[in-house]
Amino acid sequence: MKRIFELMDSPEKFNVKIQTKNEFNAEFYIDDLTYVFLTEYYNESWEMQFGIESTGPVADYAMDITGSGNEFKVFATVASILSYFIKEYNPKVFVFSAQEKSRIKLYNIFSEKISKAFGYRYTANFDDSGMIYKFSKEDK
């Protein structure tokens, strides 16, 4: 377990692309791939996703497992972006999902780390689209 946390502590640099009242997007690069972190305020919570940006004529994002072997570096960078986002926006509620069953254990570890670092409570519930992680923070 300690090894996983160490692997998640080596993020890549990221660039904030959009930072508005209701939207925050960032990107980062690992090897020859461009990863995107997308979040939008919708229905009183921030909905987040991340994946690989496609190279097609229309902006599209692959949110599936890439098989690149860089999942820990990707998660470390996503954690770094999420940390930046939380410090900038102080969201009361945010949500993301794990669609691939093989990633649920990693998402659980990631969720514990984020929860403890920023004082959020989270729930994880399985539905048709995968495991949904919902983080919430009480007003002080």
DSSP 91-114: -SEEEEEE-SGGGHHHHHHHHHHH
Give the pLDDT confidence of 115-133 residue by residue, as tens digits.
999 999 999 998 887 889 9
Domain containing residue 88: CATH number: 3.40.630
Give the pLDDT confidence of 19-37 residue by residue, as tens digits.
999 999 999 999 888 999 9
The pLDDT value given to residue 140: 55
pTM of the model: 0.82
Residue numbers of the domain that contains 79: 2-136
d(CA 46, CA 23) in angstroms, rounded, equals 9
Joined together, the tokens standing for residue 126 give 């399985």
d(CA 119, CA 24) in angstroms, rounded, equals 21
In this prediction, residues 79-108 reach a mean pLDDT of 89
**How many domains is the chain built from?**
1
Reported confidence tier of residue 8, pLDDT bands at 50, 70, 90: low
Which candidate, 8, 56, 46, 106, places its Cα nearest to that of 37? 46
Q: Coil, strand or helix: which one is 126?
A: strand
Give the pLDDT confidence of 33-85 residue by residue, as tens digits.
899 999 999 989 999 998 887 655 444 444 545 556 677 788 889 989 999 99
CB 39 within 8 A of CB 25: yes
The pLDDT value given to residue 32: 85
